[in-house]
Amino acid sequence: MDENGAIVSVIEIIEPAGNASTAAQARGVEAERARMRELTEMGNAYGANDLALRFISEGKTAEDMRRELLGQFAAERAKKPMAEQVKDAEIGLTNQEARSFSLMRAVRALANPTNTAMQKDAAFEYECSRAAAQKAGKESRGLMIPADVMNRAFSTTTPTGGPGANAIATNLLADQFIELLRNRTWALKRITMMGGLVGNVDIPRQNSAGQAYWVGEGGSPTESEPGLDQITFSPKTLAAYTDITRRLMLQSTPDAEQLVRNDLLRVMGLALDSAVLYATGTDGQPTGLINQTGIHAVKLAAEYPSYAEYVQMETDIAAANADIGSMSYVVSARARGAAKTTLKFPTAAIAQGGTVWEPGNTINGYQTDVTNQLTEGDTFFGVWSSFIMAMWSGLDMMVDPYALSTSGGTRIIFFQDVDMNIRHKEAFTYANANAAPVA
């Protein structure tokens, strides 16, 4: 190694002499050199020189090291609280600077590009946008709201002392944007979130187990290794918009800022919530749960599940050894109503067990969420922590001053890069009377 700890050169290989220097041996020597060179370069690139030296001595390949590094990445990221994940994407604004970022100033500047005064007023917002775009490694469509602002300045409360009152809460939360989205949805409270990402992300996953064998004395077991693959995340862009009136555009109070932010959170949250279940995987969308291959399916006898069918949803997951975490149902409001008026064992001579809907908002002993985001007749059950949503840094904002020109209103369009995937698809069951997917 050099003085910086980098591996300077690979171990020299002594060329075979004489007749042993066959073409095959030469190819073997070159392959060994290439293996060590690739491991060396990977160790230098990722600060894993000790690991590279160990893999060289153990005869392992660059692909082995790549899987090891991916595993370490996934393990370390899983340990990181969401607050720290999101902070990784910040551009370094202080709390005061993040709080001083004004959506309304940015909107007015974007809506009036020839107004010198408005452009000057928004100089700070434009500078933050340039820094956020550089950190995210992408061009902004209009103006990029930094992660610092989304995480901290969005921690606001409704002022109680009139328009001039301070609307910023003192208990700033580093993952506030995602937390506020979660408060408005059911899915984002249940699934695993990864925030503040830059570039594509791959997470390794074991897809088959190693095998054990009985052997006689002096025998040796058949060599086996667990199968590995990876789940990938690449940015898919969600666009959402909110309309504001001409009078609201003229406001610069904390009330106006809060109104725009709340509407942003509402439209973004509902869109992300629906995508968890129903995103098609085509036309630039991620792939939602219902369109994933490999989930279990229960074809219902009627529009809503019976108690036995709810139990089957759970049993299918357990039989696949996929009951590896906290599980819960999600149903529609009408399905809840049906569950409250349906007996578990309706054909029994004496009604036993009560209704399908149980005390504590549970079915079959499991917590049950209720949302009108579901298509009527759909029911889902699963280990929701196995569903991962990835969010990339920065929220891109464009302004369209023409769509509502007859009323003087302005349309604000937001773009957020997200993707989603599942660690273990066997950990989910979908039930429907008409078109259950192939399990």
126-135, 146-155, 165-174 — most confident range = 126-135
3-state secondary structure of 407: coil
- DSSP β-ladder status, 387-392 and 366-370: unpaired
Query: What percentage of the chain carries pLDDT values higher than 90?
Result: 29
Extents of the domains making up the chain: 18-79, 82-207+223-439
- Across 162-188, average pLDDT: 49
- DSSP β-ladder status, 362-363 and 357-358: antiparallel
Task: Please say whether the beta carbons of 319 and 296 come within 8 A.
Answer: no
pLDDT tens, residue by residue, 267-291? 888 888 999 999 999 998 999 999 9
97-106, 150-159, 223-232 — most confident range = 97-106
Task: Please say whether the beta carbons of 275 and 268 come within 8 A.
Answer: no
Task: Please say whether the beta carbons of 355 and 342 come within 8 A.
Answer: yes
| Rounded distance between C-alpha atoms, residue 148 and residue 127, angstroms | 13
What separation in angstroms does the CA of 184 have from each of 265, 269, 306, 373?
Answer: 8, 6, 29, 12
3-state secondary structure of 178: helix
pLDDT score of 180: 55
- Across 142-152, average pLDDT: 81
Mean predicted lDDT score pLDDT of the chain: 78
| Rounded distance between C-alpha atoms, residue 367 and residue 69, angstroms | 37
Could you name the CATH architecture of 82-207+223-439? Alpha-Beta Complex (3.90)
pLDDT score of 211: 54
pLDDT score of 157: 38
Residue 403 has pLDDT above 90, yes or no: no
pLDDT score of 129: 92
Number of H helices, E strands in the chain: 15, 15
Comparing 182 with 217, the larger pLDDT belongs to 217
